[in-house]
Structure 1
Amino acid sequence: MSESKTIAIIGAGIVGVSAAVWLQRDGHDVVLIDKEGPGEGTSHGNGGVLASCSIVPVTVPGLLKKAPKMLLSPSQPLFLKWGYLPKLVPWLMRYLRHANASDVDRIASALTPIIGDSLNDHKALAEGTIAERWIVPSDYLFLYENRAHFEGDAFGWEIRRKHGFHWEELEGKAFQAYDPVFSEDIGFAAKLADHGHITDPGRYVKDLAAHVEANGGKIMRANVEDVVRENGQVAGVRAGGETIACDTAIVTAGVWSGPLAKRLGVSVPLESERGYHIELVEPSAMPRSPVMVAAGKFVATPMDGRIRLAGIVEFGGLDAAPSRAPFDLMRKNARAAFPGVTWKEEVEWMGHRPAPADSIPIIGDVPGIKGAYMGFGHHHVGLTGGPKTGRLLAQMIAGRTPNTDMSVYAPSRFTT
């Protein structure tokens, strides 16, 4: 590496903290700036699965036909705050335009290099830090009522097969033998090996940030208002009423990246896809591995002293309070999926997934501004893709050529 830089990273979720770890290993000075502190937002509340196989976007063919029925049914995992609809429409029109086979294939091809080897990406990121303790290699299972139910998802499974994913099919008693915690109404499972999960995502990100700080990095709790430029080059960031001098700035603030990106000339069509979780504290039994329950479109992940149920899609913007119906639906679905399990208490959470209209993350340098970079917009797979995204950004900042075609993620696709 030719020179050591001072790098301001705006947003201390999994992407920002991953970038900080890799940049420090390259010998740079890093400043992590976040309005809430490390690991407090979506990086705290996600499903915890290192879901390498989750390369199939929501926008599959037929979505347009199904969505209205889903919105009107209280038993479907799609919700909308109807008062938000006028604001949502421009983004929604662009989003739904991608609900076709060729775009799904293109999106899956873009996601695979970012998330396709997540367990190893996390192991490499956390190596030698106390955060290693939270990484658990595991299977990841998709659960269905029966084989016909599974075959209804054939389109998505064919995309996974095309990108090198393999699975074992467990039917009836074979699945019950694998994990008897689940209802006998679940008669089919697709089991993918070589996945993993994080048993406390919030603590994991905090431990990685603590490692950055212990190695000389600075952590600031402040709201970043702008990136300061001089002669087309980043000179600092304005945060909490002061200017922090830096050579390079990276916007990794998840769904809150939009306004800052716009100031840098990149207008990303970005929405909050509100996600919910319920934690079942001190359960009487744990699932053996994380699972996606296809009927309810929710993930159940064994964590440290609790099961986390996560999922649901709700559109309603950044400001509205959580809705009750998503929590109620997840609770009902959980009782149906593992009817024999009891628990001592529940913890509820709602957060914001950063959803770009084309379902492809924004990763790379900002056109026309030397030293400005972006890394956000990972939809449902931020935890899964965070370490690889951080490593790719570090490579680009060092002037090394990543072994991934970065053009598909380039911020330039949204320049104003």
Structure 2
Amino acid sequence: MKQKILVIGAGITGVCIAEALRRADQSVTLVDRMRPGDPAQTSYGNAGILAREAIAPILDQAMISQIPKWLLSKDSPVNIKWSYLFKLMPWAIPVLRNAMKDRIPQTMQAMNNLIYDTVDQHINFTKGTNAAAFIQKGEFIFLYPQKTNYLSDIYINDLKKSLGVQWIERDFAELKERDPALGDSYKFGAAFQNHGWLTDPAGYVASIANHFTANGGTFIEKEVVDIGPDRVTFKGGKEHIANTIILATGAWSQKLARTFGHKIPLQGERGYHIMLSNPSHKPDQPYMVTDAKYGLTPMADGLRCAGTTEFAPLDTAASKSPIDYLERSIKQVYPDLTWDGKGTWMGSRPTLADSLPMFGRTKSAPNVIYAFGGQHLGITMGPKVGQIIRDIALDKPTNIDLSPYAVDRFD
């Protein structure tokens, strides 16, 4: 039976859900206060990497010892607005608990189930659409200052290997042979296989949305300010009625979900990028600069350097220090790099305390479905999430265990 389904949020998660449901012959409306691909969306400014390897939680034991140094240093990939510390603690404390060794394997298995086939998922999902042209396949190389830094990740790497992640070790000579422009700050690499990236993440999201509307889907550019069991209220007071309402508004989901009773330890991790136009060099594939915690991705419009984490209220203006940090850091990778122009950006990644997303019907209003919490991996898991939420909305069985992502797991 055809349902009237409303999807709130037109980032990568929302557009994939809406398109998956449209293909299932449902009457689907997608709503957002901005158009898909808008620079204010988190989907706009990410590193664009289809990160099959990224199954570890956002924090593990090897990172915990680095936290004091990161927070106290002015030259750090992690920053905090100290006035925000008290509000951060209800999220930060369970994040630390979930970094313990007894919890990490279960988290990694649950994440692996979502992203192990990310490149194939994206290729299959966009087949026959203009979005397919944005996908590139290749290696994703982690750069380490020394091999000892790589070996310090042995516990996580062993778990990755057990879950099918594959990589090739590369010494400094091999890295330089493939990319002579590299400086000498990074002398060891791990080249992860079966990866991909997007040459324009915003264009990719917009292209999927355009395909959705060109083939019968509806997009409404309005802000949702309240959700009920069978309707939403737009800013200005107008209501929209639907059989099923899907909440996919990323870091802003907690506020809209407040009436349904579930505990949602969701934090917007503010990430930054610099986009270098007409750079003197672009690598053939993306890099992850492991000590500086950012990705370096060749894109259609230049070279994107994206990463860092800042903890601050969602509505706080962007900071200058993460941008300066990224610009200094890129010179450690490419000392001789020049460029004609530089664009900057900031967005908030939606991260739950156990590093896993939240999927499912709410207990108090079963017509409302949660679909948020993709942390740094919203692009990576987008098409798979679209299929999962489609099956939940249509009461169809899924082919993976959904209990790790349950909406009531923090209650």
Q: TM-score range by the shorter chain?
A: over 0.9
Provide the C-alpha distance between the structure 1 equivalents of 2:115 and 2:144, rounded to a whole number of angstroms. 24
User: Could you tell me the TM-score, scaled by structure 1's length?
Assistant: 0.95
Contact map agreement 2:62 2:153 (CA 8 A) in 1? no
Task: Give CA-to-partner distance per residue, 1:188-223, whole Å, 9 cap, x none.
Answer: 111112110011101110110111111111111111
Contact map agreement 1:261 1:267 (CA 8 A) in 2? no
User: Could you tell me the TM-score, scaled by structure 2's length?
Assistant: 0.96
Which residue identity lines up with residue 179 of structure 1 in the other structure? D
Alignment correspondent of 1:31: 29
Alignment correspondent of 2:19: 21
Runs of 4 or more above 6 Å deviation: none
Task: Give CA-to-partner distance per residue, 1:26-65, whole Å, 9 cap, x none.
Answer: 0001111111221331100111000010011122115443
Contact map agreement 2:70 2:76 (CA 8 A) in 1? yes
Which residue identity lines up with residue 208 of structure 1 in the other structure? I
Confirm or deny that 1:398 pairs with 2:394.
yes
1:296-311 mapped onto 2 (5 Å cutoff): 296-311=292-307
My pick for the range that moved more, 59-68 or 344-353, is: 59-68
Alignment correspondent of 2:245: 249
Provide the C-alpha distance between the structure 2 equivalents of 1:121 and 1:367, rounded to a whole number of angstroms. 30
What SS class does the counterpart of residue 408 from structure 2 fall into?
helix
What SS class does the counterpart of residue 38 from structure 1 fall into?
coil
1:143-182 mapped onto 2 (5 Å cutoff): 143-182=143-182
Task: Give CA-to-partner distance per residue, 1:222-245, whole Å, 9 cap, x none.
Answer: 11122233xxxxx22222321112
My pick for the range that moved more, 62-71 or 212-221, is: 62-71
What SS class does the counterpart of residue 164 from structure 1 fall into?
coil
Provide the C-alpha distance between the structure 1 equivalents of 2:291 and 2:65, rounded to a whole number of angstroms. 18
Aligned-residue offset at 1:341:
1.8
Confirm or deny that 1:53 pairs with 2:53.
yes
Which residue identity lines up with residue 119 of structure 1 in the other structure? V
Provide the C-alpha distance between the structure 1 equivalents of 2:396 and 2:367, rounded to a whole number of angstroms. 15
Paired residues in the alignment total 408
Contact map agreement 2:227 2:257 (CA 8 A) in 1? no
Query: Structure 1 residues 22, 105: CA separation in 2 closer, same or farther (over 3 Å shift)?
Result: same
Select which of 351, 354, 373 maps to 1:377.
373
Aligned-residue offset at 1:175:
1.3
Alignment correspondent of 1:236: 231
Which residue identity lines up with residue 413 of structure 1 in the other structure? R
1:117-196 mapped onto 2 (5 Å cutoff): 117-196=117-196
Alignment correspondent of 1:355: 351
Select which of 351, 360, 365 maps to 1:364.
360
Aligned-residue offset at 1:68:
1.4
User: How big is the alpha-carbon RMSD for the aligned residues of Structure 1 and Structure 2?
Assistant: 1.3
Provide the C-alpha distance between the structure 1 equivalents of 2:410 and 2:227, rounded to a whole number of angstroms. 18
Provide the C-alpha distance between the structure 2 equivalents of 1:228 and 1:381, rounded to a whole number of angstroms. 29
Identity over aligned pairs, percent: 36
1:61-100 mapped onto 2 (5 Å cutoff): 61-100=61-100
My pick for the range that moved more, 392-401 or 246-255, is: 392-401
Provide the C-alpha distance between the structure 1 equivalents of 2:44 and 2:103, rounded to a whole number of angstroms. 31
What SS class does the counterpart of residue 321 from structure 1 fall into?
coil
Confirm or deny that 1:7 pairs with 2:5.
yes
Provide the C-alpha distance between the structure 2 equivalents of 1:124 and 1:366, rounded to a whole number of angstroms. 30
Aligned-residue offset at 1:333:
0.7
Alignment correspondent of 1:326: 322
Alignment correspondent of 1:232: none
Contact map agreement 1:181 1:286 (CA 8 A) in 2? no
My pick for the range that moved more, 55-64 or 125-134, is: 55-64
Confirm or deny that 1:293 pairs with 2:266.
no
Which residue identity lines up with residue 147 of structure 2 in the other structure? R
Aligned-residue offset at 1:247:
0.7
Which residue identity lines up with residue 55 of structure 1 in the other structure? I
Contact map agreement 1:136 1:198 (CA 8 A) in 2? yes
Task: Give CA-to-partner distance per residue, 1:301-339, whole Å, 9 cap, x none.
Answer: 000131110110110120211111111111011011011
Contact map agreement 2:295 2:305 (CA 8 A) in 1? yes
What SS class does the counterpart of residue 98 from structure 2 fall into?
coil
Provide the C-alpha distance between the structure 2 equivalents of 1:166 and 1:370, rounded to a whole number of angstroms. 40
Confirm or deny that 1:410 pairs with 2:406.
yes
Provide the C-alpha distance between the structure 1 equivalents of 2:284 and 2:166, rounded to a whole number of angstroms. 20
Provide the C-alpha distance between the structure 1 equivalents of 2:156 and 2:179, rounded to a whole number of angstroms. 24
Provide the C-alpha distance between the structure 1 equivalents of 2:57 and 2:137, rounded to a whole number of angstroms. 24
Structure 2, unmatched stretches of 5+, are none
Provide the C-alpha distance between the structure 1 equivalents of 2:9 and 2:176, rounded to a whole number of angstroms. 43
Provide the C-alpha distance between the structure 1 equivalents of 2:248 and 2:222, rounded to a whole number of angstroms. 14
My pick for the range that moved more, 207-216 or 263-272, is: 263-272
Aligned-residue offset at 1:365:
1.7
Which residue identity lines up with residue 205 of structure 1 in the other structure? V
Aligned-residue offset at 1:340:
2.1
Confirm or deny that 1:261 pairs with 2:257.
yes
My pick for the range that moved more, 13-22 or 357-366, is: 357-366
1:273-292 mapped onto 2 (5 Å cutoff): 273-292=269-288
